[in-house]
Amino acid sequence: MARLPRFVLPGYPQHVIQRGNNHERILYEEEDYWFMWEKIGAAAEKFQCDLHAYVLMPNHFHLLLTPRLENGVGKLMQYVGRYYVQHFNARYERTGTLWEGRYRATLLDPKQFLVPVSHYVEANPVRAGLVKRVGDYGWSSYGANALGEDDPLVTPHAEYDRLGRSTKARRTAYAAQAEQPLEETLLARIRDATNKAWVLGDETFCESIETKLNRRALPRQRGGDRRSAAYRRAAGRA
């Protein structure tokens, strides 16, 4: 069965995850982290993607980014994946695949989910038990978004800018929100949309994406989802 193309629209943010094969480690030493960090930055610039949040975990990494080109995210992931595998295999004298498979991604509604997904990404080390507080982990965008640390990878999104009138106010508001754990229902929704490659947004947003891309943005409900724009068009009622 052919795999459906991912939801990609320039100007709409995406949450992307790439995992190591069999959940094995992909990052061991500091040099590995720096190499991947540098390649992500180079790829974001080369393929015109604005990176808003990221975390580099021992066996996977997350990116929250907005492509300015239709193929920007795919090209970025190919670039990072190819160069990092070469680095990893040469450094650790191994061959073969490093990645679990295709990266997973969800297009999301920035007004509703940009900031929550940023917190979701940066809080990964806490949920994994690597640190007690988000700010204790060095390989994420939290330092830039909450503390004002210099990180050339990070480009603030307009929804981040709406957190406050000044740079200090935005960082303070962001840090305060990061202190509050995300609700389990929201965690599950983010994970489900990303792992299954469905759009993350409310019904109105999903219908707008369906109209733009002429494909279903949410899984079909039993008997057909009669609320979706795609269903109505098929039924001749649009």
Distance CA 55, CA 26 (A): 13
Query: Measured between alpha carbons, how far apart are the two ends of the chain, in Å?
Result: 29
pLDDT of the residue at 4: 62
In the chain, % of residues over pLDDT 70: 90
Question: How many CB atoms sit inside 10 A of residue 187's CB?
Answer: 15
pLDDT of the residue at 228: 53
Distance CA 64, CA 197 (A): 14
pLDDT of the residue at 169: 97
Encode pLDDT of 106-160 as tens digits.
999 999 999 999 999 999 999 999 999 999 999 999 999 999 999 999 999 999 9
- Residues of the chain short of pLDDT 70, as ranges, are 1-4, 221-238
| Domain residue extents for the chain | 14-201, 202-238
pLDDT of the residue at 218: 81
pLDDT of the residue at 236: 43
Looking at domain 14-201, what is its CATH homologous superfamily?
Answer: Transposase IS200-like (3.30.70.1290)
Distance CA 221, CA 196 (A): 15
Q: Is 89 exposed, middle or buried (0-12, 13-18, 19+ CB in 10 A)?
A: middle
**Residue 67: phi, psi to the nearest 5?**
-80, 140
pLDDT of the residue at 222: 56
Q: Which of 74, 46, 51, 77 is nearest to 64 (CA)?
A: 51
